[in-house]
Amino acid sequence: MNSGSWRVSTLTLLASLLAATGSVHGSETGNWQGFVSLTPVYQGKADLDRGGDFSVGGAILRGGASTDLGGGNRAGITLAYDYFDYSFSNSGAFGRVAPWSIVQRYGVSAPLSFEVGDGWSVGFVPSVDWFKENGANTGDSLTWGATVSGSRRFDGGNRLGLGVGVFDGIEKTSVFPFLVVDWRFGDRWRLINPLSSGPTGPAGLELDYRFDGGWTAGFGAAYRVMRFRLSETGGVRNGVGEESGVPVFVRVTRNFTDQMALHLYGGVVAGGRLRVENSSGHKLREEDFDPAPLFGATFIGRF
């Protein structure tokens, strides 16, 4: 897919999400709220341990709606689209051939939360995703699973909890624990999980400070893994590609209204690693990369 057709498809999807959230918001129940977020992201050039370098740019698009079911219970649906364009130069670990190029993700999830008494709530988020390089088989690119969490709300709206995610697909089953945190220290300081639709992903912690005039700033770190099916015509036909690392970041946010906000990110991806597996999920090559600069901006609108 060339850059022009990608821009057209992205704008078409964004328009569809806006139309969908607008129609949901105007339904008879009157208690649905739609949202759209768009995140352009750029991970700058990073040297590979055995020669060469790579960089990646792209966009993360989310949209959906949620509703109050009463009694503190909520349900929703979220559509996801990611686009990443990798650029490799003389990558020695991969035979000086780019291991992959353009990678895309399509997905849908259905967040559910239920109040169970005494301040406790349970969250359940099933999801289905297709994550693949251009030219890969869609049927071989499926990942499905869910996260389950339990958390308790304390005085002042603070919340703490634990959860676990279980996902199966692309020659691997993953199980991982995570923290649920939303804790205020006075009127201005707050410890939270990173924004799920931002460039870092939500699997981490972020310490925020609220300024006057609708501004906030935060510092945090997260763990991020992207695993996808490789093209049927590439160097490793129908193989598996993976990028992992720890984004360490600073975020500055301007809240224009209660419904619109802009988040600006700058940071570095530390402990980065690229991995190529064959079609059965067995490792062929693995390469560490130096800390890579990371920049992004997330615009969120609610309707």
**Cβ neighbourhood burial of 258 (10 Å; 0-12, 13-18, 19+):** exposed
Q: Are strands 102-109 and 112-117 parallel, antiparallel or unpaired?
A: unpaired
Report pLDDT for 108.
98
**pLDDT band per the 50, 70, 90 thresholds, residue 31:** confident
Coil, strand, or helix at residue 1? coil
Mean pLDDT for the chain?
Answer: 90
CB atoms within 10 A of CB 87: 12
- Residue 120 CB-half CA count within 13 A: 7
Report pLDDT for 296.
98
Give tens-digit pLDDT for 211-248.
999 999 999 999 999 999 999 998 899 999 999 999 99
Q: What is the DSSP string of 15-35?
A: HHHHHHHHHHHTSTT--EEEE
**pLDDT band per the 50, 70, 90 thresholds, residue 12:** very low
**pLDDT band per the 50, 70, 90 thresholds, residue 5:** very low
Closest to 265 (Cα-Cα) out of 241, 291, 247, 245: 247
What letter would DSSP give residue 158? -
Report pLDDT for 243.
98
Residue located via tokens 């498809």: 9
Asked if pLDDT for residue 73 goes beyond 80, the answer is yes
Give tens-digit pLDDT for 149-161.
999 999 888 999 9
Report pLDDT for 239.
97
pTM for the full predicted model: 0.88
Write down all domains in the chain, each with its CATH number in brackets. 3-302 (2.40.160)
What percent of the chain is predicted at pLDDT more than 70? 90
Q: Which residues contact 78 (CB under 8 A, 6 or more apart)?
A: 62, 63, 64, 108, 109, 110, 111
Report pLDDT for 301.
97
CB atoms within 10 A of CB 189: 12
Report pLDDT for 137.
95
**pLDDT band per the 50, 70, 90 thresholds, residue 30:** very low
